[in-house]
Chain A
């Protein structure tokens, strides 16, 4: 069946450090892939998405590339800020749009 495996946290980085959060998936066909972010006390909000192989999603300095060959969608940011402290979720939507799978979430804390 479909599933998402996400890098365990928590992750603590200094400001301006490079961030990678790994995400791999199992799915049939070509699902859509998403990164959502959850700030403390809030609901999830879309950070970026990619809907086909080799697509790169980007937003607010974050990037992720849909890699079919490695079934991965790793999140990266070149220089994190304190305001990036949040929980990040990798997610998958199957071809029908009827099933949705979220990773367990990775908590990121950025210290000044």
Chain B
């Protein structure tokens, strides 16, 4: 158990809909990362937050957005969903987001868009 929790575990929705994925980092970790894992594109870094502020953006679509709240939990919002958004979404956390730090991954949310 990494100490990172993600809800829900599974999500099934239809094209065009909007969903919210939630992540609680390990106790004491200030930095949260979001990743998308799909069969055709592997594991892609989406976005990083540090202590409530966006720190870095990776391959995140404009239809996707995220935020980190004062209690440090984070939410990833996916809107206007397409079939190709079906994937496993991981959240990870680290102490301060430094380049040498270990990231601790949650169990993931499996999203299926029909």
- Report how far A95 CA is from B56 CA in the complex, Å: 13
Q: Interface size (A, Cβ < 8 Å)?
A: 25
User: Please, which residues of chain B bring their CB within 8 A of the CB of A77?
Assistant: none
Which residues of chain B in 89-112 are interfacial with respect to chain A, using CB atoms and an 8 Å cutoff?
Answer: 90, 92, 97-108
Are A51 and B43 neighbours in the complex by a CB distance under 8 Å? no
Q: Interface size bucket, B side?
A: 20 to 34
- Report how far A100 CA is from B101 CA in the complex, Å: 12
Which residues of chain A in 55-85 are interfacial with respect to chain B, using CB atoms and an 8 Å cutoff?
Answer: none
Could you say which of A32, A49, A95, A105 contacts B43, with CB atoms under 8 Å apart?
A: A105
- Report how far A93 CA is from B48 CA in the complex, Å: 13
18 contacts across the A-B interface (CB closer than 8 A): A31-B99, A32-B99, A36-B105, A42-B107, A43-B4, A43-B92, A43-B105, A44-B90, A44-B105, A45-B105, A46-B102, A89-B43, A94-B99, A97-B99, A97-B100, A99-B56, A102-B35, A105-B42
Interface residues of B (CB under 8 A from A): 2, 4, 33, 35, 42-45, 48, 55-56, 58, 90, 92, 97-108
